[in-house]
Structure 1
Amino acid sequence: MVEQEDGYITVYTRAERVFVKKGESVKKGQVLGKVGKQGQDCGIGFELRLKDGSPINFELVKE
Structure 2
Amino acid sequence: MLLQEKETGNLVEVLDIQLLIDPNEETISAKDQAGQEEQDPEKFAKTNLVFPSGEALPQCWVDANYRTR
TM, length-normalised to structure 1: 0.30
Q: Comparing both structures, which one devotes a greater share of its residues to helix?
A: 2
TM, length-normalised to structure 2: 0.29
- Larger radius of gyration between Structure 1 and Structure 2: 1
